[in-house]
Amino acid sequence: MPETILEVTGITRRFGGLIAVNDVSFAVQRDEIFGLIGPNGAGKTTLFNLITGLTHPSSGKLFLMGQDVTHQRPHQIAAKGIARTFQNIRLFGNLTALENVMVAQHVHTSSGVFSGIIGTPKARREERHVREQALHLLDMVNLADRAETVARNFPYGDQRRLEIARALALQPQVLLLDEPGAGMNPNEKAGLSGFIREVKEKFALTVVLIEHNVPMVMGLCDRIAVLNFGQLIALGNPAQVQADPAVIEAYLGDEG
Bridge-partner residues for 68, per DSSP? 63
Q: What is the 3-state secondary structure (H, E, C) of 70-138?
A: CCCCHHHHHHHCEEECCCCCCCCCCCEHHHHHHHCCHHHCCCCHHHHHHCCHHHHHHHHHHHHHHHHHH
Could you say whether residue 148 binds another protein (CB under 8 A)? yes
d(CA 26, CA 8): 6
Among 42, 62, 123, 241, binds another protein (CB under 8 A): 123
State which H helix or E strand residue 25 sits in.
Answer: strand 18-29
* Backbone dihedral angles phi then psi of residue 34, each to the nearest 5 degrees: -110, 120
Which lies closer to another protein via its Cβ, residue 38 or residue 53? 53
Among 7, 99, 158, 179, binds another protein (CB under 8 A): 99
Could you say whether residue 90 binds another protein (CB under 8 A)? yes
Q: Angle CA(199)–CA(102)–CA(160) in degrees, nearest 5?
A: 45
Could you say whether residue 161 binds another protein (CB under 8 A)? no
**Of 10-18, 103-111, 204-212, 236-244, which segment contacts another protein by CB under 8 A?**
103-111
- Residues 61-85: b if buried by 16+ CB within 10 A, e if exposed: ebbbeeeebbebeeeebbebbbbbb
**Of 27-35, 109-117, 217-225, 238-246, which segment contacts another protein by CB under 8 A?**
109-117
Nearest distance from C-beta of residue 152 to another protein, angstroms: 10
Q: How many CA atoms lie within 13 A of 74 on its CB side?
A: 10
Could you say whether residue 140 binds another protein (CB under 8 A)? no
Could you say whether residue 116 binds another protein (CB under 8 A)? yes
Nearest distance from C-beta of residue 136 to another protein, angstroms: 13
Nearest distance from C-beta of residue 244 to another protein, angstroms: 32
Residues at the contact surface with another protein, assessed by CB under 8 A: 52, 54, 73-75, 78-79, 83-84, 86, 90-95, 99, 102-104, 106-107, 109, 111-113, 116-119, 123-124, 126-128, 130-131, 135, 147-148, 150, 166, 169-170
